[in-house]
Structure 1
Amino acid sequence: MSELAASGPVVPTTPHPKLEELIAVLEHLRAPGGCAWDRDQTHASLVQYLVEETYELVDAIEAGDDAELVEELGDVLYQVIFHSDIAAEEGRFTLEDVAAHMTVKMVGRHPHVFGDAVADTPDAVMARWDELKRVEKPGRESVLDGIPQGMPALALAAKLVGRAEKVGLAPVATDAVPASEAELGDELLATVVAARAAGLDAERALRDALRRLQSDIRGAENAAAG
């Protein structure tokens, strides 16, 4: 477990009775005599709901509606509590274990806050973050390790371009970049429209290109190692 340095341990100062109440509600629903549907769920059966709730949260963030944001954050939080309760019933881990692990992780990833390290800019923080991740996960042999392939294609593309740059690759860029995100969105939509008219699947095409990019990244890593 990471040590908390000069600032000392983080001591909670605010009670969270409503959070405790929500945990109790879930435990009651899944207890004997509770809800048959809730008791029947597994980690795997809940995946579809986690994905759906996550996208609904993204919609709420983009809409900027606080009432929707509260609701969708609650739905995602409930998924965390739900999965933790399933695991606790099986004797694997508890919600407290999840919280404790995250506390250690966040304290360890912020030595510039909880320790003596210096990181005065967002870029310096991210560089330190990446360095600490490499130390924490020594089993990762590639910059691609840990990237979920199920990410939306555009989000995955942005992630992979960053990883390509880390191994010295520079994927080909378009000659001109739109001046605003609105214009960029229009261009991306126009590309999808044209692809559809030509009988092409833009999502599949991008994922195919990303598989080739990942192959190039692994090739660059092997060349550097050899």
Structure 2
Amino acid sequence: MALLSPEPSHEADPIAEAVAIMARLRAPNGCPWDREQTFDTIKRHTLEETYEVFDAIERRAWPDLKDELGDLLLQVLFYAQMASEAGHFNIHDVAANLNAKLIRRHPHIFGDVEAGDSATVLRNWEQIKREEKKSSATQKDSLLADIPRSMPATLEAGKLGSRAAKVGFDWPDVDGLFEKLNEEIAELKQELQAAPGQASQIAAVEEELGDLLFTAVNLARHLKVDPESALRAANAKFRSRFAAMEQAAGGPEALTTHNPEQLEELWSKAKATVASASGASHS
């Protein structure tokens, strides 16, 4: 497979120019840093850029989002260029594969299948995916095999629960999940009381806490809430309240001079201050 041209053309459209620039950076006389990168060294940057896209969306910072989407596109260009150099595929193959998939999975648009609502569209999409996997030479032995272990744990947990639910292995309703949460909390408390500080106890506590978090993520799935977005919102709320605490105390260093009761009082006041500023009342 021929490599893409390493020379950018300013007369080309922006996407084609970006592809050519990346090829130039990876060329023998290109950028030393870019040439040293591998799939494994780049992947952590991909995750960082994805979260920066999330952040820009949540802040409704559209100029920032434009910039972050460009950084995310850079990751795609990097992977495609490295794959092209190794003879696996190039960016054109990536786009062609995507185009074919979009057409194949939207038969209600590009074919004669009827789909009057989004629920029907999703059912058709999943059915087409299952048929694709049946005909794939790389089909795995498990329904869960193609869910990457490398994705964020909350996203992985949600996808595992959702995939298992497709064969009926799921909690029947939200009440069952609340019961499961209480069960996991009780098991965690039990482990905390057993052999404190020993390695076996630490491992058991980690396992039970993991079960608790897994259940919470699947509760979010049942409630149709994105757990990652919910936690990010909670993180942002904590940041705001903590900043209000610092300001009320006279600065970050001043917090260290307060006892736990005083810190709790500052926290309560910070909650009220932030809630008042946002026009809302939250726990």
Same fold by TM-score, threshold 0.5 exceeded? yes
CA contact (8 A) 2:157 2:214 kept: no
SS at match of 1:57: helix
For 2:103 and 2:77, locate their aligned partners in 1 and report how far apart those are by CA, in whole Å: 22
> Aligned partners of 1:22, 1:108: CA distance in 2, in Å?
28
Comparing 137-146 with 20-29, greater Cα deviation is found at 137-146
2:201 counterpart of 1:205: no
Q: In structure 2, what is the Cα distance between the partners aligned to 1:83 and 1:153?
A: 23
> 1:29 corresponds to which letter in structure 2?
L
Structure 1's unaligned 5+ residue stretches are: 1-14, 176-190, 214-226
| Aligned equivalent of 1:169 | 169
Larger RCO (alpha carbons 8 Å, 6+ apart): 1
Partner deviation per Cα, 1:72-111 (whole Å, 9 max, x = no partner): 1101101111111111122221111111111111110111
Distance 1:49 1:110, change over 3 A: same
Return the alpha-carbon distance in structure 1 between the equivalents of residues 88 and 165 of structure 2: 39
Report SS of the residue matched to 1:137: helix
CA contact (8 A) 1:57 1:69 kept: yes
Are the equivalent residues in 2 in contact too, given 1:53–1:72 (CA < 8 A)?
Answer: yes
Output the aligned Cα RMSD: 3.2
TM-score by length of 1: 0.69
Q: 1:93-137: CA deviations, max 9, x gaps?
A: 111111111111111011110000111111101100010001111
Structure showing greater Rg: 2
Task: Report % sequence identity.
Answer: 40
Equivalent position of 1:70 in the other structure: 66
SS at match of 2:15: helix
Task: Judge conservation of contact 2:105–2:128 (CA < 8 Å) in 1.
Answer: yes
Task: Answer whether contact 2:27 2:35 (CA < 8 A) is retained.
Answer: yes
Code of the residue aligned with 1:74 in structure 2: it is G
Q: Report how far residue 159 of structure 1 moved.
A: 2.3
Q: Is the 8 A contact 1:153 1:203 kept in 2?
A: no
Aligned counterparts of 2:104 and 2:162: Cα–Cα separation in 1: 24
